[in-house]
Amino acid sequence: QEHRSIYEAIGDEKLQILVDAFYKRVASHPELTPIFPADLTETKRKQKQFLTQFFGGPPLYIQEHGHPMLRARHMPFPITPTRRDAWLSCMREAVFEVGIEQPYERIILERLTMTANNMMNTPEDEK
């Protein structure tokens, strides 16, 4: 029990439901639609692979795409504090919608918040 990864605790099926619930919100968020592709199919697929390994499951993202280098991969997109907040609010709502038991819910949101903070690359007035 103590050594279960977050990925095992959530389960693969619920992780997929979380990813779908998240991008459903991204697709209609006015701060996020300008920087995301209209078709999110491939984005979803990569995010599911990434979160699987981020939460301690098999390293699916690295196997197909190499080292994540997430900050570098986000450089083409102007990520302001407002967009960080928008991304996190979509994720928080998705996590609440799918329902994840504690302490996993709290740990997931903490880890995603730290990563989202690291993804900011543009001051508010330069977007």
- Secondary structure percentages of the chain, helix, strand, coil, to 5: 65, 0, 35
On the CB side of 90, how many CA atoms lie within 13 Å of its CA?
21
Instruction: Tell me which of 6, 10, 15, 79 binds ligand HEM, using CB under 6 A.
Output: 79
Which residues inside 80-119 make contact with ligand HEM, applying CB under 6 A? 83-84, 87, 112, 115-116, 119
For the bound state, the minimum distance from the C-beta of residue 99 to ligand HEM, rounded and expressed in Å, comes to 20
Bond before 103 cis per omega within 30 degrees: yes
Binding mask of the shown chain, residues 42 to 61, with x at each position contacting ligand HEM by CB under 6 A: xx--xx--x---x-------
